[in-house]
Amino acid sequence: MLEPHWILLIMLGVFVVCAMLLKVPTGLSLIAASMVGALAGGEGLPLRHLVEGAFTYIDPILIIASAMVFMASLEQSGALGSISRGLLVHLHSRPALLVVGLTVFIMFPGMITGQSTATVLTTGAIAAPVLSACGIPRPKVAAIIAMSAIYGMIAPPISLPTMIMGSGVDMPFTGFDIPLLIATMPLAIGVNLGLARRYLKNIDMEAVLGDLDENHATRHGWRLYLPIVLVALLLIGIRLVPFLAANLGIALVFLIGAAVGTRTGRRFNLFSAARRSIRQALPVMGILVGVGTFIQVMTLVGIRGMLVVTALGLPSLWKYAGVAVMMPLFGAVSAYGSASVLGVPFLLSFLGQDEIVVGSALSLFAGLGDLMPPTALAGMFAAQIVGEPNYFRVLKHTAVPAVITALWAIGMIILANPLAKIIPG
């Protein structure tokens, strides 16, 4: 049997060949790499471990699927377009506040699905004309959307990278809401205002209103936003009320909200909307299946233990440098894979510091993987929706925000214990 570090290199090599050269979907590439790794490790083709690994992240997969259906419901009912229009109408004379409002608006799908691509393709696409109307150049509009999508992926209440790290160390996903808000909201607002500050001006409303959906709020009133309010109340309820926690899951909450959305605004066929949204989410769900098998085989052949021991043995200074470089680079493969493969060992290496604050900070490093070429999913999709043919022009504007994000995360790790003492609950 080969040494674990050689097996890891073989697995990564197989993944690169399949995903980059042969253009095999990322999830299938991870499964192929897992099978080769098991063979290299002398385990043959361990079907039990491959199947068990494929179901490791079944809960996040169900959450993604149901949340995407909920987002499709909000989009089809007209709620998302009406929110964007309302922000423009009420804040057009205060463009700085408009940018803040649009930042939270863009982040919203990521906050409930845990994925950046869904954010870029939904609220990012809706907000792009409004940001362009502020006079912001296309590459910077795409950079604002990409950074908002990444921060939304990390923000509560879902934060899949944080969930994945927690499951790797048997840490329940409770008490993360405020630390994740500290990790994301100040950065999201500060970074986007920094990107937009030179271009903020009064907006020609008539020019941009034509690019937005009609105002369904005028026709349907407060009912249009009832699904959002209902889902928010139920998500709070399953955290506070034992009866709801025992009988409702996050996935079911989103499906309830999607069903209610069919009767609160513009009428649409929920089945058709769900089918389209699930098709859009399939690549991400496939990645989670592949990541699960990849991690299972890494554990089986000793790679995961090697990584944990290596991370625990790093000197403090190198530990911070390692996490700031390795997790984003591995995140180019998959932010979720980075959270599991490297996030778990690094989380264990910071024992003695509050694990909830540290886990929240590490999720920022994993999220930055969506800006790493050659995949750079957040930057690539953001460039597409603004019509920018060269996504490297977008990534150029995300470089400084990425460095600021990494420094913010390192600061949170260093100050984890003092932060934990002042965070309620």
Distance, CA of 263 to CA of 100 (rounded, Å): 30
Residue 154: the pLDDT is 95
Give the type of residue at 351. L
Cβ proximity of 146 and 378 under 8 Å: yes
Task: Give the chain's end-to-end CA distance (angstroms, integer).
Answer: 48
Q: Torsions phi, psi of 7, nearest 5? A: -65, -40
Which residue stretches of 120-264 are H helix?
Answer: 125-133, 138-154, 160-168, 177-196, 205-209, 216-220, 226-240, 242-247, 250-261
The per-residue pLDDT for 65 is 87
202-218 pLDDT, tens per residue? 666 665 665 555 566 67
Q: Which two tokens stand for residue 377?
A: 């999913």
Give the model's pLDDT for residue 178. 94
**DSSP structure string for 259-275:** HHHTTTSS---HHHHHH
On the question of a cis peptide bond just before residue 46, with omega within 30 degrees of 0, the verdict is no
Please state the pTM of the whole predicted model: 0.80
Single-letter amino acid, residue 52? E
Low-confidence ranges of the chain (pLDDT < 70): 1, 202-217, 245, 333, 374-375, 425
Say what the pLDDT of residue 212 is. 58
pLDDT at 355: 93
Residue 106's nearest CA partner among 151, 73, 171, 140 is 151
Structure tokens belonging to residue 410? 């390192």
Structure tokens at 130: 């409004």
Residue with tokens 């377009």: 81
- pLDDT score recorded for residue 208: 60
**Residue 57: strand, helix, or coil:** coil
> What domain count does the chain have?
1
Give the residue among 416, 378, 386 at the shortest CA–CA distance from 141.
386
pLDDT in tens, 90-147: 887 788 898 999 999 999 888 887 888 778 878 888 888 888 878 889 999 999 999 9
Q: CA–CA separation, 59 vs 266, rounded Å?
A: 31
Tens digit of each residue's pLDDT (9 = 90 or more) over 309-322: 887 777 777 889 88
d(CA 71, CA 49): 34
Domain assignment of residue 118, given as a range: 4-422
Q: What angle do CA 405, 406, 411 make, to 5 degrees?
A: 95
Instruction: Give the pLDDT score at 209.
Output: 60
Structure confidence at residue 149 (pLDDT) = 95
Q: How many CB atoms lie within 10 A of CB 193?
A: 15
Residue with tokens 């440098």: 321
Query: What is the pLDDT of the chain when averaged over all its residues?
Result: 87
